[in-house]
Amino acid sequence: MEAMEDESLDVKDDHNHNYYGSANSKVRTVLSSQLSDVTTVPQSVCPAVPGGEPGPRPGRLRSSSTGAPKFLDSDTGSESSEVSETDCTAVPANVEGKFTLDSSSKFLLNAMAVEDYRKNHWPNLEKAIDRLLIQNSTDHISVSYAQIYGYIYKCVCQQHSELLYSDLTAKITNHLWQVSSQLLASPPENLIENFNTVLTQYTAALQCIVPVFIYLNKFYIESKLNRDLKEDLMRLFADHVAEKHLETLMPLLIKAHSMPFQVQPSTMASVVKGLYSLRPEWAQLAPALFSAFIPQINPPAVESQLPDYAAHDQKLQMELSMNGFPRGDQSRKRASEDS
């Protein structure tokens, strides 16, 4: 410490070789008393980040030979010569004002952090989300999930969870608006197939998007909003796509169900089950349709209605027979019953 004082407080003489001894001694006395206050900095443990979001690893501050505080990592024991605002906010009272940032400095750091998010983190995430949303089941798009997860991890640790969630939902909402516009231009006879395509594509994209955003989901959406990311994103599809086309789609589904094999059974099942998963109350719009693909839609059977059930089955068998599906020769025995 004495060596540092001699080097930093040495006053050079002017061109006439005049020394200012009295002023030099006063400056040396004042600065020596200030430096003695920060020679030893008590240990300080970094507090947890509010809201359950991950914070930096705990460590301690200690004074170096030059008087500058160093951050000693508790895990590795390595030193870092910089102490940022997010590293440790608990500062002893006797050094308050020396190492803490004023309100204008904190505002500047926050603005710089948001600018870094806008320039570096979000553009890379946006590109990856675009590629995942437009891919087909047969496409093999190369996406670095580890890199995406790394960006999301940094955003959450830097307290950008709310901003990231807002950008993610806005991005997907804009995509769903475009999907809905494409369905509006679809011919009615192709609406069922096209709706099934966009629903299948969207759910497949969520199977990739939700896992890489698991850090955001755990430390912000679940802990602060008490919701789930996948449920929120499926709700967006219901609001911006399914609900807008439900009035046109439902009569087409009922008509297709009354004419067997007009639409492929797998497509019918996918659309009906998809609508039910989005909004279970939609099953009440066409109970007969939804009950054909989803169990327990209709109320339990009662004995007094058995004749009605038998008549319904006979009607269905008649329709199948009229559409080229004969019942076959009922007189033949099954192979297992031959003696």
Report CA torsion sign: 45, 46, 50, 55: negative
Q: Above 50 in pLDDT, residue 130?
A: yes
Note whether residue 333 is domain-resident. Answer: no
Q: What is the mean pLDDT of residues 228-238?
A: 97
Q: Higher confidence at residue 40 or residue 267?
A: 267
Same domain? For 23 and 153 the reply is no
CATH classification at residue 247: 1.20.1310.10
Predicted TM-score (pTM) of the model is 0.60
Q: Above 60 in pLDDT, residue 75?
A: no
Backbone angles phi, psi at 70, to 5 degrees: -125, 145
Backbone angles phi, psi at 63, to 5 degrees: -90, 140
Count CB atoms within 10 A of the CB of residue 85: 13
Q: Above 90 in pLDDT, residue 217?
A: yes
Domain tally, the chain: 2
Residues 6+ apart with CB under 8 A from 220: 51, 53, 156, 161, 162, 165
What is the phi-psi region of residue 187: left when phi exceeds 0, alpha when psi lies from -120 to 50, beta otherwise?
beta
DSSP-derived 3-state class of residue 171: helix
How far apart CA 32 and CA 27 sit, in angstroms, is 8
Note whether residue 336 is domain-resident. Answer: no
Same domain? For 124 and 215 the reply is yes
Same domain? For 15 and 36 the reply is yes
CA 36, 82, 61: angle at the middle one, nearest 5? 50
- Domain of 80 in residue numbering reads as 2-104
Q: Higher confidence at residue 177 or residue 10?
A: 177
Note whether residue 298 is domain-resident. Answer: yes
Q: What is the mean pLDDT of residues 69-73?
A: 41
Q: Which residues sit opposite 77 in a β-bridge? A: none
List the structure tokens of 172. Answer: 């997907």
Q: Which amino acid is at 242?
A: A
Count CB atoms within 10 A of the CB of residue 118: 13
Note whether residue 29 is domain-resident. Answer: yes
Q: Above 90 in pLDDT, residue 34?
A: no
How far apart CA 246 and CA 250 sit, in angstroms, is 6
